[in-house]
Chain A
Amino acid sequence: MNNVDAFIAALPGIGRGILVTLELTLGGAVFAFLIALALGLATRSRLLLVRGATRIVIEFFRGTSLLVQLFWLFYVLPLLGIRLDSLFCGILALALNYGAYGAEVVRGGISAVSIGQFEASRALNFTSWQRMRRVIFPQAWAQMVPPFTNLLIQLLKGTALATFILLHDLNFFINELRRSTGDTLFAYGIGLVIYFVIAYLLTLGMNAVEVRAKNRIAAGPTLREVMGLKPPKARSQIDQTPRSRMTGVIS
Chain B
Amino acid sequence: MTDLWSWDRAFQAVPVLLEGFQITLLATALGMVVAAILGLAIAISRRSQFRIIRWPVGAMNEFIRQTPLVVQLVFAYYLFTSISPLQIGITVIGIHYATYMSEVYRAGIDGVAPGQWEATRALSMGPVRTWRAVILPQAIRSTLPALGNYAVSMFKETPFLFAISVVEMVTAAQQFGAQHFQYIEAITLAGLIFLIASYPTSLLIRKLETRLAY
Chain B residues positioned under 8 Å from A157 (CB to CB): 66-70
How far apart are the CA atoms of A195 and B177 in the complex, in Å?
32
Q: How far is the CA of A184 from the CA of B75 in the complex (A)?
A: 7
Partner of A185, one of B67, B79, B170: B79
Give which listed residue, B71, B78, B158, contacts A195 with CB less than 8 A. Answer: B71
How far does the alpha carbon of A161 sit from the alpha carbon of B202 in the complex, in Å?
Answer: 25
Neighbour of A65 across the interface among B66, B79, B159, B202, CB < 8 A = B159
Q: Are A72 and B191 in contact (CB under 8 A)?
A: yes
Q: Does B117 contact A (CB under 8 A)?
A: no
Q: Which of A63, A66, A164, A185 has the most CB of B within 10 A?
A: A63
Total residues of chain B contacting the partner, CB 8 A:
37
Residues of A within 8 A of B190 (CB): 68
Distance in angstroms from B138 CB to nearest chain A CB is 26
Q: For A59, give the chain B residue with the smallest CB separation.
A: B199
Q: Is B11 an interface position by the 8 A CB rule?
A: no
Assess the B184–A188 pair: CB atoms within 8 A. Answer: no
Interface status of A64 (Cβ within 8 A of chain B): yes
| A199 touches which of B67, B69, B158 (Cβ 8 Å) | B67
| Whole-angstrom distance between the Cβ of B123 and the nearest chain A Cβ | 37
29 contacting pairs across A/B (C-beta < 8 A): A59-B199, A60-B195, A63-B194, A63-B195, A63-B198, A64-B191, A64-B194, A64-B195, A65-B159, A65-B194, A67-B159, A67-B162, A68-B159, A69-B191, A71-B174, A76-B183, A79-B183, A79-B184, A156-B68, A157-B66, A157-B67, A159-B68, A160-B68, A160-B69, A160-B70, A161-B70, A171-B70, A185-B79, A195-B71
Contact B66 A199 (CB under 8 A): yes
Within residues 77 to 106 of chain A, which ones have a CB less than 8 A from any CB in chain B?
79-80
B78 touches A188 (CB 8 A): yes
Residues of A within 8 A of B192 (CB): 64
1/0 per residue, CB under 8 A from B, across A173-194: the answer is 0110010000011001001100
CB distance from A21 to the nearest CB of B (A): 10
Name B38-89 residues within 8 Å CB distance of A. Answer: 63, 66-72, 74-75, 78-79
Q: With A65-B159, A188-B74 known to touch, is A171 a contact of B68 (CB < 8 Å)? A: yes
Is A27 at the interface (CB under 8 A from chain B)? Answer: no
Contacts of A175 in B (CB 8 A): 74
| B35 CB contacts on chain A under 8 angstroms | none
In the bound complex, CA of A195 to CA of B74 (Å): 15
* B75, B170, B174, B199 pick with most chain A CB within 10 angstroms: B75
Tell me the bound Cα distance from A77 to B156 in angstroms.
21
With A59-B199, A67-B160, A68-B194 known as contacts, the answer to whether A184 contacts B68 (CB < 8 A) is no
Q: Is B22 an interface residue (CB 8 A)?
A: no
Q: A-B contact count, CB below 8 Å?
A: 110
Chain A positions 148-169 with a Cβ under 8 Å from a chain B Cβ: 153, 156-161, 163-164
Q: Which residue of A lies closest to B200 (CB)?
A: A63
Contact between A184 and B182, CB atoms less than 8 A apart:
no
Residue B188 at the chain A interface, CB threshold 8 Å: yes
* Chain A interfacial positions (CB closer than 8 Å to B): 59-60, 63-69, 71-72, 75-76, 79-80, 153, 156-161, 163-164, 171, 174-175, 178, 184-185, 188, 191-192, 195-196, 199-200, 203
Set of chain A residues within 8 Å of B170, measured between Cβ atoms? 65, 67-68, 71
- What residues of chain B lie closer than 8 Å to A159, measured between beta carbons? 68
Which residue of B has the minimal Cβ distance to A195?
Answer: B67
In the bound complex, do residue A195 and residue B4 qualify as a contact, i.e. CB atoms below 8 Å apart?
no
B67 and A76 contact, CB distance less than 8 A: no
**CB contact between B183 and one of A71, A164, A178, A195 (< 8 Å): that residue:** A71
Question: Of the candidates A60, A75, A178, which one forms a contact with B78 in the assembled complex, judged by CB atoms under 8 Å apart?
Answer: A178
Q: Which 7 A-B pairs have the closest CB atoms?
A: A160-B68, A75-B183, A188-B75, A64-B191, A157-B68, A67-B159, A63-B195
Instruction: Using CB atoms, name the residue of chain B closest to A156.
Output: B68
A164 proximity list for chain B (CB < 8 A): 162-163
Q: Does B182 lie within 8 Å of A79, measured CB to CB?
A: yes
Minimum C-beta distance from A193 to chain B (A): 8
| B157 in contact (CB, < 8 A) | yes
Q: Which residues of A contact B4 (CB under 8 A)?
A: 79-80
Cα–Cα distance between A178 and B81 once the two chains are bound (Å): 14
Using known A-B contacts A68-B159, A68-B170, determine if residue A192 contacts B72 with beta carbons closer than 8 Å. yes
